[in-house]
Chain A
Amino acid sequence: MSESRNHLALVGSPNCGKSTLFNWLTGASAKVVNYPGSTVEYSVGSLVSHLESYVHSVTTIMDTPGTYSLTPRSQDEWVTWKSIFENSNYGLPNLLLVVIDGTQLSRQLSLVEQVRRTGLNFKIIITMNDLLEKENIHIKIAEIGKYFNTDVFLFDGLLGSGLIDIAKSFNFSIKSNSDFIAPDPLAMKLSDLEFQNLDILAKSSTENSQQLKNIELKTRKLDDVLLHPFLGIVFFISIMTFLFASLFWFSAPLMDAVDQAFASLSELIQNQMPESLLREFVTDGVVASFAAVLVFIPQIFILFFGMSFLEASGYLARAAVIIDRPFKYLGLSGRSFVPLLSGYACAVPAMMAARNINSTRERLMVTFIIPLLTCSARLPVYALMISFLMLGNENALIAGMIMAGLYLGALVIAAFAALLLNKIITKDSQSFFIMELPIYRRPRFVFLLTQAMNRSWLYVKKAGPMIFIISLIIWGGTRFPRSAENVDAATRIQNSYLGQLGTHFEPILSPMGADWRVGIGLIASFAAREVFVSTLAITMNIEEQDEEVMNNSLLSSLVNAKNFTTGAPLFTVPSVMGLIVFFMIALQCMTTFAVAVKEMGGLKWAIMQLVSFNVVAYILAVVTYQSLSLFFG
């Protein structure tokens, strides 16, 4: 590490306002949280430009996951420990900024004491100054500074006041840490007496501390309703149903707009480019693929927005507490709620969020069942399938309810899987549930909006290249080798490379009511689930082109699609239901598999997960198709 470089690390309890300070210091769009464990891995940023003038040397700042103590118990707390003491990328920090919540001094000073014991250079930052000032509470920073023999700063996360003084304090002569020996985590434990001394310090350095009660009062009033034995459950179910049903209710006009934009783009290309193979590829391959998937961005955005709202408002921690008892029967705890709920967005960060769970056993169970939850990549598939089932019925309310039903169904399946695992995996005794409930705060709309937009953009960035590559392969595979002009569409596509390859899969696919075109979609979906829709957009559009039906939506292509052999409609209620069941259970995402290997500590569990999910998905899809076929003829 260069001698002229400052490396700073932020340490603090969950909900202490650490990530907010990190955002102010680095200008990065890292998450602000009201829930433990949201900083899944440590993040690093450089000092924001307007603060650079106050600091003489290049400064990097690292944000670590929230920790109550420097004696690590959860994976998350180990991340904090290792990112400070065993960080091969940045080395030891020159300065630790211990961030503590000014409304929780007596509890959080213990972390400061532990940091002091490490022997590393540190300064204290007391947050939530806006709340304290509102209640006329003053913290005597000099007294705290004297006790710990270091500088103490007040910081207001809402307006950022105090930031410049904090930045100025980064100017100090950098000590070489080469002879520093990482402390023993066990030596960090404080005695009862030490806790009590810190409590005395907290009390003596807080003027008007009786006013602290007022800050909590509003929250307690809300909790009377939201954690009420009966009303609490009603609100919980209503909030969750509203979240998932609103994906349908609010997205329709936005989805129409995206659809229109792509139709115009396609038309523009048709008009501007001369007729060629490239134009065909661009319009029928690339644009059709992206349109099929990106049309669901509004729904994904709404999901992310809703989750950010629940997180930032403080409700998510309550939801975890409400669900704790029911989860206990499954061998889980309320702590699993956030990773599982995140699983409804994407399995990858969800598996990482499971590091917050202190019990190894519970973490393994949660990581195992996360891919069963309806991740956003399934949304395009479900939306298409529901639109098919709802043909001729424009009732958005029912469509929304079906969607909410699918989300709930995923929970039931996951619960069943958890029950099974609970029987298989040996119990451990390190499980406990102690959770802090942060005060309710009104989230800043701009913050929610940016966060939801960033996450949706990440989704596009992640899915984009995959959609492009797969669309190229699928388009080429279904268009080549070129047949003679007079050959009909069915024969032409069957003679194509993918057609020839696909016929080998027919025996496996026909029991679930699918043909090889759907099969190609299913195979492609193992790259990323949403690719299933874009693949169908290419394979199904072939007929339409031949019949000169331009600009037909994917949905009508599905309605008109015929089985090449029998001539019967390919997509029927039984076959679509079979596909939905398959998508509900199958583990098709390679990224998830890679992360699962890492998070479950090796190949064994990850392979078990991959194989069992896909085999069960296939069997249930066949059973669904076959049994529904009896009713629908």
Chain B
Amino acid sequence: MQLKSKKGQKFKITDIQGKTFLVERLHEMGFYNNKQVEFLGQAPFSGPYLLSSEGTIIALRQEEFLCLNLEII
């Protein structure tokens, strides 16, 4: 998923692909199919992406973020 998103953009997760341990950890952090997430921006120094999912804010690097297949809502 290439990201040129604006802050506040909402997505639905359609699939999670990547290394098994990464997919599992993403599941445990509350990311799974059909889940809605909101893009909150990027941390300073062009750092990790910030996503909000039902009251939880999660920061993740681009590598992990790219495991999420997202569909704009």
A196 to B47 alpha-carbon distance, docked (Å): 30
Q: Is A223 an interface residue (CB 8 A)?
A: yes
A435 within 8 A of B: yes
Most buried by A among B32, B40, B64: B32
Q: Which of A217-248 contact B (CB under 8 A)?
A: 219-220, 223, 227-230, 232-233, 236
Quick check: is A31 within 8 A (CB to CB) of the other chain? no
Asked if B41 and A227 sit within 8 Å, CB to CB, the answer is yes
Tell which of A69, A192, A216, A229 touches B42, judged by Cβ atoms closer than 8 Å: A229
- Mask of B43-73 contacts with A, CB within 8 angstroms, 1/0: 1111110101111111111011000000000
Known A223-B50, A325-B43: A436·B61 in contact at CB below 8 Å: no
User: Quick check: B29 and A68 within 8 Å, CB to CB?
Assistant: yes
The interface bits of chain B over 1-37 (1 if a CB of A lies within 8 angstroms of the residue's CB, else 0) are 0000000000000000001011011111110111100
Candidates B29, B33, B43, B46; contact of A434 at CB < 8 Å: B29
Q: Knowing A215-B55, A432-B64, A436-B56, say if A107 contacts B44 (CB, 8 Å).
A: no
Chain B proximity mask over A200-227: 1 for CB below 8 Å, otherwise 0: 0000000000001101100110010001
Query: Could you say which residues of chain A place their CB within 8 Å of the CB of B53?
Result: 107
Q: Does A393 contact B (CB under 8 A)?
A: no
Docked complex Cα distance between A449 and B50 (Å): 33
- Indicate with 1 or 0, residue by residue over A99-126, a CB within 8 angstroms of chain B CB atoms: 0000110110010000000000000000
CB < 8 Å neighbour of A73 from B25, B45, B47? B25
Number of interface residues of B (CB under 8 A): 36
Q: Are B44 and A232 in contact (CB under 8 A)?
A: yes
Taking a contact as CB atoms under 8 Å apart, the answer to whether B50 and A324 are in contact is no
CB of A107 within 8 A of CB of B29, answer yes
A544, CB-defined interface residue at 8 Å:
no
With A227-B43, A322-B45 as known contacts, state yes or no: A220 contacts B57, CB within 8 Å.
yes
**Interface: A49 (CB within 8 A):** no
Q: Is A581 an interface residue (CB 8 A)?
A: no
B24 touches A227 (CB 8 A): no
Are B48 and A334 in contact, with the CB atoms below 8 A? yes
> Are B60 and A434 interface neighbours, CB within 8 A?
yes
Which among A196, A232, A326 is the interface contact of B34 at CB below 8 angstroms? A196
Shortest beta-carbon distance, A216 to chain B, in Å?
5
A321 at the interface (CB under 8 A from B): yes
- Chain A residues, Cβ within 8 Å of B58: 434-437
Question: Which residues from B are CB-within-8-Å of A195?
Answer: 27, 32
Residues of chain B lying within 8 A (CB to CB) of residue A192: 27, 32-33
- Shortest distance between the CB of B9 and any CB in chain A (Å): 14
Nearest Cβ on chain B to A616's Cβ, whole angstroms: 29
Contact B47 A322 (CB under 8 A): yes
Q: How far is the CA of A199 from the CA of B41 in the complex (A)?
A: 25
User: Which one of A71, A190, A212, A326 contacts B45 once the chains associate, using CB atoms below 8 Å?
Assistant: A326
Residues of A within 8 A of B22 (CB): 432
Q: Give Cα A195–Cα B23 distance, bound, in whole angstroms.
A: 13
Chain B positions within 8 Å of A436 at CB level: 29, 56-59
Contact B28 A69 (CB under 8 A): yes
With both beta carbons as reference points, the residue of chain A lying nearest to B34 in the complex is identified as A196
**Contact B43 A322, beta carbon cutoff 8 Å:** yes
A229, A233, A326, A435: the one contacting B59 at CB < 8 Å is: A435
Shortest Cβ distance from A228 into B: residue: B44
Instruction: Tell whether A429 pairs with B45 under 8 Å between CB atoms, given A73-B25, A107-B29, A107-B56.
Output: no
**What is the CA–CA distance of A192 and B44 in the complex, to the nearest angstrom?**
33
Cα A219 to Cα B25 in complex, Å, equals 24
State how many angstroms separate the Cβ of B64 from the closest Cβ of chain A: 5
Is A395 among interface residues, defined by CB-CB distance under 8 A?
Answer: no
B26, B28, B52, B59 — most chain A CB neighbours (10 Å): B28
* Residue pair A435, B60 in contact (C-beta under 8 Å): yes
Q: Is the CB of A106 within 8 A of B30?
A: yes
Could you show 19 A-B contacts with beta carbons less than 8 Å apart? A68-B25, A73-B25, A106-B54, A107-B28, A110-B28, A192-B32, A196-B34, A216-B57, A220-B40, A220-B52, A324-B45, A324-B59, A325-B44, A430-B21, A434-B29, A434-B64, A436-B58, A437-B50, A437-B59
Q: Nearest 9 A-B pairs (CB), nearest first?
A: A107-B30, A325-B45, A325-B47, A232-B44, A437-B57, A68-B28, A321-B59, A212-B55, A195-B32
